[in-house]
Amino acid sequence: MSDRDTIIVDTAARIFRDLCDPQTLNNAKDDSWKGPLWDALEESGLTLTWVSDEVGGAGAGMFDGFDVLRVAGSYAVPVPLSETLLAGWLLEKAGITCPAGPMTIAPQRAKDRIEIDANGRLSGAAKQVPYAGETTHIAIVAYKGDRPHVALVAAADCRIESGRNIALDPQGTVDFAGVQPLRCEPAPISADDLQMMGAAARATMIAGALETAMNISVQYAQERKAFGRNIGGFQAVQHNLSRLACEAAAATAASGSANEAIANGDGLAGDAMLLEIASAKIRCGEAAGQGAAIAHQAHGAIGFTQEHVLHRFTQRLWAWRDEFGSEAVWAVRLGNAMAGNGADALWPLLASR
């Protein structure tokens, strides 16, 4: 860890503290906070953490990008930062220079497939694309026959049906039919690689959000009084919060391990990467569900209000565990892989990590 760049994390934390304070955003009557927040992120270079400096990015490395996402999760950041990071990562794989402004990526669901025809036009649609309609550009993985390409698309060229996810953050269906990409290049990447990276990103954000959910729950338990004492003095409350801490710890370890595997690994293929990334998404998704429930229980009614910030974290925990594959989806995939390898291959794989 010591060789990691704390300046990047510190910068991210400072920007979020100043411009993305959960209570301030919660009280805001409109979206006027959004512009200054995005501008600060862009000016600091954080939005292009995963793009090398040769092509205009921050050149900071995979680990730093994940660290930024963890901090973003800990503030429940409601702008397309992870999406822009992922888009930058994708575009760089194809040697495409990143445009300015927020981007998103597609497909988010494993099921959706985008094709490129002989004239270079796209077909297919992607559902539940995060922040669709809020970004000027979309980076996509599309196929010309079997050959994967990365394309940069202007959002204005697509038909977008906007909606909201469970956290009320924007998401939408993007219909790419007939769209001519701004750029389109073959790339050594697959739609599954985007699933993997997206899953690792969401797992990391979940770990960050759980840390905050834990902290505010503990703080609340130390302040709120009932029966003449702090509720944190009741053993039942203490044990619930201990379990929340254990879940947050598991999420931290699982996502941290996947982050390290990606940062120091050689591509996303193979059983070891599947174990790392699937485990992170599964375990963080489970921790999200259990952790959110405990955090709410500890808060009583106040946590169930619009006014309190807790929902900013718990609703995003629920949203993020769904995106880029739920626990169940990854578990079936991981379980099938383990079954296919056979019982006696299980321990050697676990021990190799």
Partner 1 sequence: MTASVLQFDPIRLPPECDVLRGEVRAFIEEEIAAGTFDPMDKSEGDRFNRPFAKRVAAKGWIGMTWPKKYGGQERSFLERYVMTEEFRAVSAPTGSFFTADRQSGPTIMKYGQEEVKNEILPAIIAGDCTFCIGMSEPGSGSDLFGATTRATKTDGGYLINGTKIWTSGAHQADYMIGLFRTAPPTKENRREGLTQFVVNMKTPGITINPVINMVGRHEFNEVVFEDAFVADKYVMGTPGQAWKQATSELAYERSGPERFLETFYILTELVRVLGAEPDLRGSEGVGRLVAQLHTLRRMSVSVNGMLAEGLEPTLQGSIVKNLGTLWEQALPARARDLAAFVDPDPTNMASFQRVLEFATTIAPKLTIQGGTTEILNGIIARGLGLR
Interacting residues toward partner 1 by CB under 8 A = 1, 211, 214-215, 218, 221-222, 232-233, 235, 237-239, 241-243, 245-246, 248-250, 252-254, 256-257, 259-260, 264, 275-276, 278-279, 282-283, 286, 327-328, 330-336, 338-340, 342-344, 346-347, 350-351, 353
- For residue 309, which of 216, 240, 208 has the smallest C-alpha distance? 216
Q: Which is nearer to partner 1, 55 or 331 (CB)?
A: 331
Q: How many CB atoms lie within 10 A of CB 131?
A: 25
Rounded CA gap, 45 and 23, in Å? 25
Q: Which residues share a beta bridge with 161? A: 173
Tokens of 14: 């400072």
Give CA separation, 348 vs 240, 267, 275, 341, 345, in Å. Answer: 35, 21, 12, 11, 6
Q: Which is nearer to partner 1, 118 or 343 (CB)?
A: 343
What does DSSP say about strands 225-226 and 125-130: parallel, antiparallel, or unpaired? unpaired
**Helix extents (H) in the chain:** 6-19, 22-27, 34-43, 62-74, 81-93, 191-223, 235-264, 271-299, 310-322, 327-341, 346-352
Smallest separation (angstroms) from partner 1 to the CB of 330: 7
Q: Which is nearer to partner 1, 8 or 237 (CB)?
A: 237
Q: Which is nearer to partner 1, 19 or 213 (CB)?
A: 213
Give CA separation, 237 vs 211, 212, 247, 300, in Å. Answer: 17, 17, 15, 11
Q: What is the DSSP letter of 16?
A: H
What is the radius of gyration, based on Cα positions, of the chain? 20
Smallest separation (angstroms) from partner 1 to the CB of 248: 6
Smallest separation (angstroms) from partner 1 to the CB of 211: 6
Q: Which is nearer to partner 1, 176 or 320 (CB)?
A: 320
Q: Which is nearer to partner 1, 238 or 297 (CB)?
A: 238
Smallest separation (angstroms) from partner 1 to the CB of 8: 17
Helix (H) or strand (E) holding 144: strand 137-144
Smallest separation (angstroms) from partner 1 to the CB of 12: 16
Give CA separation, 218 vs 18, 118, 291, in Å. Answer: 23, 58, 13
Q: Which is nearer to partner 1, 124 or 256 (CB)?
A: 256
Q: Which is nearer to partner 1, 52 or 297 (CB)?
A: 297
Rounded CA gap, 158 and 106, in Å? 12
Smallest separation (angstroms) from partner 1 to the CB of 76: 17
Peptide linkage before 107 cis (omega within 30 of 0) = yes
Smallest separation (angstroms) from partner 1 to the CB of 306: 26
Smallest separation (angstroms) from partner 1 to the CB of 63: 9
Smallest separation (angstroms) from partner 1 to the CB of 98: 28
Biggest CA pair distance of the chain: 74
